[in-house]
Structure 1
Amino acid sequence: ATAGTFAGAIGLVPLFLVFLKIGLVVFGSGYVLLAFLRADLVVPGLITDRQVLDAVAVGQVTPGPVFTAATFIGYLLAGVPGAVVATVAIFLPSFVLVGLVHPIIPRIRASAPLSAILDGVVAAALGLMAAVTFELGRVALIDVATVAIAFVALILLLRSHLNPVILLAGGALAGLAARMVGWI
């Protein structure tokens, strides 16, 4: 990806606000961020679904996939300043929240209503992840070979509980092999 591919499409302050919002609402798995990336950046035409997939792929092979994806997208939109702004913005809410909530964690854990709220948030997050997975699948699964690679990875993950990094590496090699024989 080229730095600032969509430079000028979004300023640093709006970019900061997009990732600050994502940092405030991402709960549990970072894959929930995909729904927000689509709504705030793909739908308005600032980046493409393919670039979101690229950001997620890059994030999966590095520590801190959510932060890496944010940094990658910030870089696409505004170069190095955008990468810094997106990274700080997505990290800031968690950092502040941990500092504020730490003293009351025992009470939160013991509260039935707060536990129910968290259960609802988790269920909604699963729904968001399923919807975005479907949307991104339409972009990524473009032929029989990519569908087969995805299916094999899913079966291996569910049956063998392989480390996702191994699955990603295997998928990369399978994609390369499929390209070399002309299947992709």
Structure 2
Amino acid sequence: MSWVIFFWTLLKSVLFSSGGYGPLPSLHSDFINYGWAGQKQFTESLAIGQITPGPNGLWVVSLCYLVAGLRGALLACIALLLPPLLILIVQRCYTRIAKYPATQGLLDGVVIVIASFSVIVVFKIFVSNGIDVETIAIASISSILTISRRVSTNVILLVSVLVGIVF
């Protein structure tokens, strides 16, 4: 196992997730593909993450300990701590450059890229699960309600799941 690749895989998964269980799909795919972990390690680490107090994201440390021992757990801790530190550094720099129009243009571009990735992922999910009228209706109504901000996102998710189960 290359420790550099191991660390960059962890960091990539943590950077491009929303925290908690966000890195799970990426880590699962990468760790399985590299042959570093099996389903048993994921199940055990998620169970440990559920029963231990503290932030939900610490299941990653358990997974890396099960996969690579103490060194893996330490690399996971570093990978989990770097994004918040990076945000602090960026925030400090942003206050100095926020007044420039190029800064706002860059941020607008980043938002467009993230929105485009989201659309691509949703499209791939639709294609892989089969496109049907019910799925399109649920997605469309959920999107409209989310954009209107009149209904809580949690309520939208709950109702969408229930409607999906019924159909």
TM-score by length of 1: 0.50
Q: Is the aligned partner of 1:92 residue 2:92?
A: no
User: 2:64, 2:76 within 8 Å by CA — same for their partners in 1?
Assistant: no
Partner of residue 20, structure 1: 11
Q: How does 1:30-179 map to 2 (within 5 A)?
A: 30=18, 37=26, 41=29, 78=63, 81=66, 88=77, 91-141=80-130, 143-159=132-148, 161-178=150-167
Shift of 1:14: 4.3
- CA-based RMSD of the aligned residues comes to 4.3
Residue deviations 1:99-149 (CA, integer Å, cap 9, x gap): 434443321212333333222222222222221221122234554433333
Distance in 1 (alpha carbons) for counterparts of 2:74 and 2:163? 36
Could you tell me how far 1:20 is from its partner in structure 2?
A: 0.7
Structure 2, unmatched stretches of 5+, are 35-54, 68-72
Residue deviations 1:43-64 (CA, integer Å, cap 9, x gap): x957xxxxxxxxxxxxxxxxxx
CA distance in 2, matches of 1:106, 1:89: 26
Taking a change above 3 Å as real, the CA distance of residues 175 and 126 of structure 1, as seen in their structure-2 partners, is: closer
Distance 2:74 2:126 in 1: 29
Structure 2 letter corresponding to 1:112: P
Normalising to structure 2: TM-score of the pair?
0.54
Change (3 A) 1:168 1:86: farther
Q: 1:122 to 1:102 in 2, by over 3 A?
A: closer
Displacement of 1:86 after TM fit?
A: 9.5
The aligned counterpart of 1:61 is: none
Q: Which runs of 5+ in 1 are unaligned?
A: 1-9, 47-66, 179-184
Higher RCO (C-alpha under 8 Å, 6+ residues apart):
1
User: Greater CA radius of gyration, 1 or 2?
Assistant: 2
Q: Percent identity?
A: 22
Q: Which amino acid aligns with 1:95?
A: P
Q: 1:107 to 1:173 in 2, by over 3 A?
A: same
